Homo-oligomer: A and B are copies of this chain.
Amino acid sequence: MGRRTEVRLAGSGGQGLILAGVILAEAATIYDEKNAVQSQSYGPEARGGASRAEVIISDADIEYPKATELDILLCLTQESCDRYVQDLKPGGLLLVDRDEVNEIKAAREAEVKVVKIPIISTAKEKIGKALVANIVALGALVQITRVVTKDALKNAVLGRVPKGTEDLNLNALESGFELGREYKKT
């Protein structure tokens, strides 16, 4: 069995997490030549405005397409962190928005690697568009984990974002890389 990496992107509707999941999966498959499954499961929480997207990336065929033990969890809201932190495997990466997520269950905080960065405020203040927080988040996530190559991610972003927004999104991606680099230095 090849190496399998499970990623969940969680927050609220309108944060572009499904698009982020599709971009990450396409980076892995079309540009990095791995296999991937990207999915969203919707239950009652979707009617309450929550949103989550999953990406499983593997060198080999993916037999079971649902995440069972997350390697990487991104949370852009406190609610999503409360709900999903239990699904992260010991030693896994919990990447949260520094301003939105104030509390992490203490029992889990000790078992996982927590990275707090200003994703949404960077999108708003540096890029001028809260809408690109999803791309900033992807940049940081990939800079820290290298779950896909940075070139593959860049190509996948360019392949998916609306025409005319390429520069905006590349700036957002670069800001995300920078957040990831800064974090690594600390």
**What chain B residues lie within 8 Å of A61 (beta carbons)?**
43
Q: Is the interface of A mostly helix, strand, loop or mixed?
A: mixed
Whether a CB of chain B sits under 8 angstroms from the CB of A46 is yes
Of residues 48 through 96 on chain A, the ones whose CB sits less than 8 Å from some CB of chain B are: 61-62, 65-66
Asked, given contacts A65-B66, A66-B65, whether A38 binds B30 with beta carbons under 8 Å apart, the answer is no
The reply to whether B25 and A40 contact each other, CB–CB distance below 8 Å, is: yes
A65-B65, A65-B66, A162-B162 as given contacts; A35 in contact with B25, CB under 8 Å:
no
Which of A22, A28, A41, A61 has the largest count of B CB atoms less than 10 A from its CB?
A: A41
Q: How many residues of A contact B (CB 8 A)?
A: 24
Give CA–CA (A162, B42) in the complex, Å. Answer: 22
Count of chain copies: 2
Residues from chain B with a CB closer than 8 A to the CB of A46 are 26, 29-30
Would you call A10 an interface residue if the criterion is a C-beta within 8 Å of the partner chain's C-beta atoms?
no
- Which residue in chain B gives the minimum CB-CB distance to A25? B42
Neighbouring B residues of A37 by C-beta, 8 Å: 39-42
**A to B CB contacts below 8 Å, 24 in the list:** A22-B40, A25-B42, A26-B42, A26-B46, A29-B42, A29-B46, A29-B47, A30-B42, A30-B46, A35-B41, A36-B42, A37-B40, A37-B42, A38-B39, A38-B40, A38-B42, A39-B40, A39-B65, A41-B62, A41-B65, A43-B61, A65-B65, A65-B66, A162-B162
Where the two chains meet, the residues of A that have a C-beta atom closer than 8 Å to any C-beta of B are 18, 22, 25-26, 28-30, 33, 35-43, 46-47, 61-62, 65-66, 162
Closest 3 CB pairs of A and B: A39-B39, A29-B42, A37-B41
